[in-house]
Amino acid sequence: MADSALPILTVVAVALVDADGRVLLAQRPAGKAMAGLWEFPGGKIHPGESPEAALIRELKEEIDIDVTEACLAPFTFASHRYESFHLLMPLYVCRRWKGAMRPREGQTLAWVRPAKLGEYAMPPADKPLVAMLQDLL
Ligand SMILES: Nc1nc2c([nH]c(=O)n2[C@H]2C[C@H](O)[C@@H](COP(=O)(O)OP(=O)(O)OP(=O)(O)O)O2)c(=O)[nH]1
Ligand SMILES: [Mg+2]
């Protein structure tokens, strides 16, 4: 099957960066696809949603923080062919949020120094993103 025949799945994700320049990773819970791998928080865009609105919704659902569109800076994107879909994933950077962060979906959260990001097993689509974040931070 040609690449172009795969459905494109658009997923929005964010690198939340704290005052020390550490990045938030979330470990995908058991039962989900790619369980156990570490990822940037985010998820699928619902029909009719803008990418930013989807990300704001996902951040509330997954880690209970409030983010505004003005604080979401587009950074880069992943384009990766998985077995049954092609992932297109815009990655934002965000350094400001409100509320006490807590995992709401059984995930484990970790604040990771850029130099240590390579020690966390991530989905294959994320590899180039990690290198770009290390350059930025
Ligand atoms: N959130 C996120 N998803 C990623 C990353 N890398 C990567 O390949 N993915 C893939 C895994 C999934 O196939 C897809 C996102 O799915 P998801 O399960 O997080 O979507 P969602 O939050 O909307 O969850 P659900 O409602 O479908 O359970 O993108 C990443 O860094 N962050
Ligand atoms: Mg998600």
Number of folded domains in the chain? 1
The tens digit of pLDDT for each residue in 34-59 reads: 999 999 999 999 999 999 999 999 99
82: containing domain: 3-136
pTM: 0.95
Q: Percent of the chain at pLDDT above 90?
A: 92
The tens digit of pLDDT for each residue in 96-116 reads: 999 999 999 999 999 999 999
**Residue recorded with tokens 């039962």:** 31
CATH assignment of the domain containing 77 = 3.90.79.10
Separation of alpha carbons 60 and 26, rounded Å: 14
Task: State the DSSP string of 49-83.
Answer: --HHHHHHHHHHHHH--B--GGG-EEEEEEEEE-S
Separation of alpha carbons 15 and 117, rounded Å: 12
Residue with CA nearest ligand 1 atom 19: 43
Largest separation between any pair of C-alpha atoms in the chain: 46
| Residue 58 Cα to ligand 2 middle (Å) | 7
pLDDT for res 3? 56
pLDDT for res 136? 97
ipTM beyond 0.85?
Answer: yes
